[in-house]
Structure 1
Amino acid sequence: MELINRQYCLQGIPVTDLCKQFGTPLYVYDASKIEQQVKHMQQAFEQMPVQIKYALKALNNQAILQLMKRLGVGLDAVSIQEVELGLKAGFEPHEILFTPNSVGFEEIKQAVDYGVVVNIDNISILEQFGHTYGSDVPCCIRLNPHIMAGGHHKISTGHIDSKFGISILQMRHLQRVIQTYAIRVNGLHMHTGSDILDAEVFLQGARILFDIAREFPALDFIDFGSGFKVAYKEGDVVTDLETLAQRLKAEYRAFSKEYGKEVEIWFEPGKYLVSEAGYLLVKANVVKTTPATVFVGVNSGLNHLIRPMMYDAYHEIVNASNTEGAKRIYTVVGYICETDTFGWDRQLHEVREGDILVILNAGAYGFTMSSNYNARPRPAEVLLYKGKPYLIRKAESLDDLLRNQLPMPWEEADRAAKQTTVKEK
């Protein structure tokens, strides 16, 4: 977002103009920023056979998936429904990695039928997979390296208490199952969670996977997940991709020489690719002063962006309607009947009722984690592409909330209840 002629603009379009055209609240995504992030990853790892698999749980609108396809990016799906979204967006099955957890075997069978790459994260499912398919269908194995990668505990997935992956302490058991059923393991996977702050922690996990990979002679790829951190505010620590890539290349070359061939390296960035490309535009409904706090109440809430309340996530907020006014301290809150706060004690240019506020870094886990709590409809989504805005999802209406509800046949139910009562007597 740039300040042009005293107006906050996205791809040269004033934010306030977007609100006039599409209304508020409104999710806006900048396609050029997504392309920039993809290219940054591709360039950082260009000397390795790298495949990027976008974690579509971060933002799964069909237009966004089609953009990823155009940029040469595959998909990482965590549910069979996400697999189906990817197929509808035009991805080939082999371009989609399916990494579920805690699902029934029927969902695994469905993924096999679709022809996507299946990633198995527990021994029980692996045994069923081997019993059903033997060596006919290859699979990837998700391992838990017992590593704390940093960030909020709710998004850390590689430690010993995590539900994800097969523990590296179970390797002997894992090998027995693989040998018993002659399972073809064509990939190994780990994901330690978001917000990798230290390249050494990531490399520690990589070394573990490289060591284990030596026991699997027929691998096509090794998947290191993601967790690359983006900046949420000025001066924020981010993952140094170039340094990480250089160090990983050295580890990879040594492994490849010993392994006897080069396997592909896969990454699954989600937040890294779309977070900074997303903006949630909201309107200030009220400015409310209490003895302790000045609140700005906006026409959105945790039903549209739950990250601040769920993860204590920081999202920068700016007043797009007043770029030069005196700065004051506000707490920006939503209209949901809960403690529903976007930002505590923020310095903003003076906010007036009716002003447009922009919540930054809202591209990842914003809309996809949204809900209809308090019977509030979800907002529209707009994609900015080459300087023009395109509506890629309509705002919901009350009809959308009622669409799948069915009328209760009260008279029929009362008659049935009376008949039951008579029979019992």
Structure 2
Amino acid sequence: MELNNNVYTIQGLKLTDIAEQFGTPVYVYDADKIAGQVQKLKDGFKGLNVKLKYAAKALTNLSILKLIRKQGCGLDVVSIQEAHLGIRAGFKPSEILFTPNSVAFSEIREAVELGLQINIDNISILEQFGNEYGGTKSCCIRLNPHIMAGGNNKISTGHIDSKFGISVYQMRHIERIVKACNMRINGLHVHTGSDILDPEVFLRGAEIIFESATHFPDLEFIDFGSGFKVAYKDDDITTDLQELGKKLGSAFKAFCKEYGRKLELWFEPGKFIVSESGYFLVRANTLKTTPATVFVGVDSGQNHLIRPMMYGAHHEIVNVSNTSGTKRVYTIVGYICETDTFGWDRQMHEVREGDILAIKNAGAYGFSMASNYNSRLRPAEVMVYKGEAKLIRQRETLDDLLRNQVEIEL
């Protein structure tokens, strides 16, 4: 999103025009930004045999998936439904990594039948997989390195109390199962969480996974998950991909030499690829002044963007209808029967009823975590592609709320 001549635009299109054309609330995605983020990752790890697996849970719209596939990425999915969406979007099953948690073995069996790369993070499931498939189907093992990382405890996944991964302290148990079932382990995976700033976190994980790798002679890849931090404010510090690529790349090359052959280096960026591409456009319905606060009530709420309420996440908010008025301090709230605050005490150009506000960083976990709470409808999605705003999901209607309900006679 750019500000030119006091007008906010995406690829030359005015955001106010997009809001007028498609209505509000509406998610708007900049295809050029998505492609640019993928290129940043490729540039950061240049010279390495890197495979990028987009973490689909961030945003699963089919058009977005097709765009990301066009950039040369594979896919990381956490449910069989995400896998089916990926295949429908054109990904080959062999390009999809299936990393579920706490699912029934029947779902893993379905993933095997589809031809996905299986990633296992539970001793019990590993044993079931070994008993059923032995060495006929390879799998990856997700290890828990017991490293505390991530900006919020709800998104930190590699610590000792996390439900994710098999503890590195259970390596002897893993070895027994692999040997007894004659299993073929073709990958090792570690993911410590999101919003990682310090490359040393990746390097600590690397040391652990490289040591673990010596127990498995058939590895084809090592997967470091993701966690690359995006900017939520103008002065935010982000992950230095060049520094990370240099340090982790050097360590990985040294490991491959010691291991005896070159392996693939995998990452699973989700939020990094789509977060900054997304803008959630809402309309100011009401202005309400109290003795302490001026509230701007908008035509959306936590049912469409839950991250501020769930994680305390910060999303910049700008008034795209008024870019030069006097700046005032507002608290932007939603229309849900909860305290659904998008932003406290935000300074922005004067807001008038009817103005369009743009909430930034809405590409990741906006629509994908949206709900019909309060029986509200989910918004439309629009992608700006090659200078044209294209509808990629229709706005819901009341019929959508009723479609699967079954009325009984009372």
TM-score scaled to structure 1, two decimals?
A: 0.96
| Residue of structure 2 equivalent to 1:48 | 48
Alignment of 1:274-423 (within 5 A): 274-410=274-410
Deviation at 1:234, TM superposition (A): 1.3
| Residue of structure 1 equivalent to 2:203 | 203
Which amino acid in the other structure matches residue 285 of structure 1?
N
Deviation at 1:69, TM superposition (A): 1.0
| Residue of structure 2 equivalent to 1:259 | 259
Partner deviation per Cα, 1:155-198 (whole Å, 9 max, x = no partner): 00000000000000100011001111011100000111100011
Distance in 1 (CA, whole Å) between partners of 2:26 and 2:150 is 31
| Residue of structure 2 equivalent to 1:237 | 237
Deviation at 1:6, TM superposition (A): 1.5
Distance in 2 (CA, whole Å) between partners of 1:31 and 1:59 is 13
Distance in 1 (CA, whole Å) between partners of 2:335 and 2:197 is 34
Partner deviation per Cα, 1:32-81 (whole Å, 9 max, x = no partner): 00000000101111211000000010000000000011110000000011
Distance in 2 (CA, whole Å) between partners of 1:60 and 1:345 is 33
Deviation at 1:149, TM superposition (A): 1.4
Checking the alignment, whether the CA contact within 8 Å between 1:149 and 1:202 is kept in structure 2 is no
| Residue of structure 1 equivalent to 2:67 | 67
User: 2:348 aligns to what SS in structure 1?
Assistant: strand
Which amino acid in the other structure matches residue 153 of structure 2?
H
Deviation at 1:134, TM superposition (A): 0.5
Distance in 2 (CA, whole Å) between partners of 1:113 and 1:365 is 29
Which amino acid in the other structure matches residue 2 of structure 1?
E
Asked if 1:24 is matched to 2:14, the reply is no
Partner deviation per Cα, 1:76-115 (whole Å, 9 max, x = no partner): 0000110111011111000000000000100000000000
User: 2:36 aligns to what SS in structure 1?
Assistant: helix
Which amino acid in the other structure matches residue 153 of structure 1?
N
Which amino acid in the other structure matches residue 190 of structure 2?
M
Which amino acid in the other structure matches residue 395 of structure 2?
A
Which amino acid in the other structure matches residue 327 of structure 1?
K
Q: Bigger shift: 204-213 or 218-227?
A: 204-213
Distance in 2 (CA, whole Å) between partners of 1:220 and 1:409 is 59
Alignment of 1:46-195 (within 5 A): 46-195=46-195
Checking the alignment, whether the CA contact within 8 Å between 1:150 and 1:196 is kept in structure 2 is yes
Checking the alignment, whether the CA contact within 8 Å between 1:147 and 1:160 is kept in structure 2 is yes
Which amino acid in the other structure matches residue 119 of structure 2?
N
Which amino acid in the other structure matches residue 230 of structure 1?
V
Deviation at 1:249, TM superposition (A): 1.2
Checking the alignment, whether the CA contact within 8 Å between 2:175 and 2:215 is kept in structure 1 is no
Distance in 2 (CA, whole Å) between partners of 1:19 and 1:56 is 26
Distance in 2 (CA, whole Å) between partners of 1:31 and 1:403 is 32
Partner deviation per Cα, 1:383-410 (whole Å, 9 max, x = no partner): 0001101000000011101100011132
| Residue of structure 2 equivalent to 1:423 | none
Partner deviation per Cα, 1:267-288 (whole Å, 9 max, x = no partner): 0000000000000000000010
Distance in 1 (CA, whole Å) between partners of 2:140 and 2:46 is 24
Partner deviation per Cα, 1:311-331 (whole Å, 9 max, x = no partner): 000000000010000100000
Which amino acid in the other structure matches residue 284 of structure 2?
A
Give the share of equivalent positions with the same residue, in percent.
Answer: 66
Which amino acid in the other structure matches residue 86 of structure 2?
G
Which amino acid in the other structure matches residue 180 of structure 1?
A
Distance in 2 (CA, whole Å) between partners of 1:179 and 1:154 is 35
Q: Bigger shift: 201-210 or 222-231?
A: 201-210
Deviation at 1:5, TM superposition (A): 2.2
Which amino acid in the other structure matches residue 118 of structure 2?
V
Checking the alignment, whether the CA contact within 8 Å between 1:194 and 1:226 is kept in structure 2 is yes
Structure 2 unaligned residues grouped into runs of 5+: none
Checking the alignment, whether the CA contact within 8 Å between 1:333 and 1:343 is kept in structure 2 is yes
Distance in 2 (CA, whole Å) between partners of 1:355 and 1:389 is 20
Which amino acid in the other structure matches residue 266 of structure 1?
W
Which amino acid in the other structure matches residue 66 of structure 1?
K
Computing the radius of gyration over CA atoms, which structure comes out larger, 1 or 2?
1
Over aligned residues, Cα RMSD in angstroms? 0.6
Checking the alignment, whether the CA contact within 8 Å between 2:150 and 2:227 is kept in structure 1 is no
User: 1:276 aligns to what SS in structure 2?
Assistant: helix
Checking the alignment, whether the CA contact within 8 Å between 2:202 and 2:248 is kept in structure 1 is no
Checking the alignment, whether the CA contact within 8 Å between 2:228 and 2:272 is kept in structure 1 is yes
Partner deviation per Cα, 1:292-343 (whole Å, 9 max, x = no partner): 1100000000000000000000000000010000100000000000000000
Checking the alignment, whether the CA contact within 8 Å between 1:149 and 1:197 is kept in structure 2 is no
Checking the alignment, whether the CA contact within 8 Å between 2:222 and 2:265 is kept in structure 1 is yes
User: 2:201 aligns to what SS in structure 1?
Assistant: helix
Checking the alignment, whether the CA contact within 8 Å between 2:119 and 2:141 is kept in structure 1 is yes
User: 2:210 aligns to what SS in structure 1?
Assistant: helix
Which amino acid in the other structure matches residue 351 of structure 1?
V
Distance in 2 (CA, whole Å) between partners of 1:409 and 1:91 is 45
Distance in 2 (CA, whole Å) between partners of 1:38 and 1:221 is 20
Distance in 1 (CA, whole Å) between partners of 2:343 and 2:365 is 17
Partner deviation per Cα, 1:331-387 (whole Å, 9 max, x = no partner): 000000000000000001000000000000000000000000000000000000011
Distance in 2 (CA, whole Å) between partners of 1:348 and 1:334 is 17
Checking the alignment, whether the CA contact within 8 Å between 1:195 and 1:229 is kept in structure 2 is yes
Deviation at 1:150, TM superposition (A): 2.6
Deviation at 1:211, TM superposition (A): 1.2
User: 2:187 aligns to what SS in structure 1?
Assistant: strand
